[in-house]
């Protein structure tokens, strides 16, 4: 049966972080807090664990799953290359709610990319996420904690009622009500695409890129 642990996600107890990291290392699936909403986490390089994430969400589509890392160093082995545009955006907005889509590296499981040839990555600003990533020493999946097509939930009690024992561990940080997901920008194929406007406006990103081009 799934367990629930409470946490202050800006000052997380080491005991909770340890249990969460153990869950990930064992190929488990957990619901965890980010600075925007609750996500479903698993080792993003473990194909079987990714399959469990897809099953928990009851996904029928071929939409790829985003991942979080704790810094630029963890991009190695995940992405094929880091264009100059991406370096500028990472410097300005990471850690924070900007997901950047890159051309994917060969080692990444196809279950994560769903045949797209690309991978979406961000560095969260949540202390809990950063500490968990450090302990796990692997990228984590970061997809919203809900059944595909259903409304996003902002409490663990609502999420647990929906996902049940498809998840091994729930990390409860109270009500998360940021309202908007991360903004998504693609730099794949040496081409900039604005895919989803979230917490960071497209206008703000264009301002940063324009300053670089000047």
Q: Mean pLDDT lowest for which of 3-17, 58-72, 125-139?
A: 58-72
pLDDT per residue as tens digits for the range 63-89: 899 999 999 999 988 999 999 999 999
Instruction: Flag whether pLDDT at 179 surpasses 70.
Output: no
Fold of 3-213: DHBP synthase (3.90.870)
Given a contact cutoff of 8 angstroms between Cβ atoms, the answer to whether 42 and 23 are in contact is: no
What integer pLDDT is reported at residue 88 of this predicted model? 95
Q: Which residues are within 8 A (CB) of 145 and not within 5 positions of it... i.e. 6 or more apart?
A: 31, 37, 38, 39, 40, 152, 153, 159, 163
Instruction: Flag whether pLDDT at 6 surpasses 90.
Output: yes
pLDDT above 70 covers a percentage of the chain that reads: 98
Given a contact cutoff of 8 angstroms between Cβ atoms, the answer to whether 97 and 68 are in contact is: no
Q: Which residues are within 8 A (CB) of 1 and not within 5 positions of it... i.e. 6 or more apart?
A: 165
Beta strands in 104-176 (DSSP E): 118-122, 140-141, 143-144, 169-172
Q: What are phi and psi of 170, to 5 degrees?
A: -110, 125
The pLDDT-based confidence of 180 (bands split at 50, 70, 90) is: confident
End-to-end CA distance of the chain: 57
**How confident is the prediction for the chain on average, in pLDDT?**
94
């Amino acid at each position: 049966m799934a367990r629930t642990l409470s946490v202050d996600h800006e000052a997380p107890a080491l005991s909770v972080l340890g249990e969460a990291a153990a869950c990930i290392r064992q190929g488990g699936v957990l619901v965890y807090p980010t600075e925007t909403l609750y996500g479903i986490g698993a080792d993003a390089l473990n194909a079987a664990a990714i399959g469990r994430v897809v099953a928990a969400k009851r996904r029928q589509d071929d939409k790829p799953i985003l991942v979080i890392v704790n810094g630029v160093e963890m991009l190695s082995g995940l992405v094929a290359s880091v264009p100059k545009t991406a370096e500028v955006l990472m410097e300005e907005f990471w850690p924070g709610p900007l997901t950047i889509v890159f051309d994917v590296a060969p080692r990444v499981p196809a279950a994560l990319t769903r045949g797209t040839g690309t991978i979406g990555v961000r560095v969260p600003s949540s202390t809990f996420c950063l500490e968990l990533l450090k302990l796990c020493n692997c990228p984590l999946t970061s997809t919203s904690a809900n059944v595909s097509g259903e409304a996003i939930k902002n409490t663990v009690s609502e999420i647990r009622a929906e996902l049940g024992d498809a998840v091994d561990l729930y990390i409860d940080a109270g009500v998360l009500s940021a309202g908007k997901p991360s903004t998504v920008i693609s730099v794949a194929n040496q081409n900039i695409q604005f895919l989803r406007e979230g917490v960071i406006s497209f206008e703000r990103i264009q301002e940063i890129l324009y300053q670089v081009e000047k």
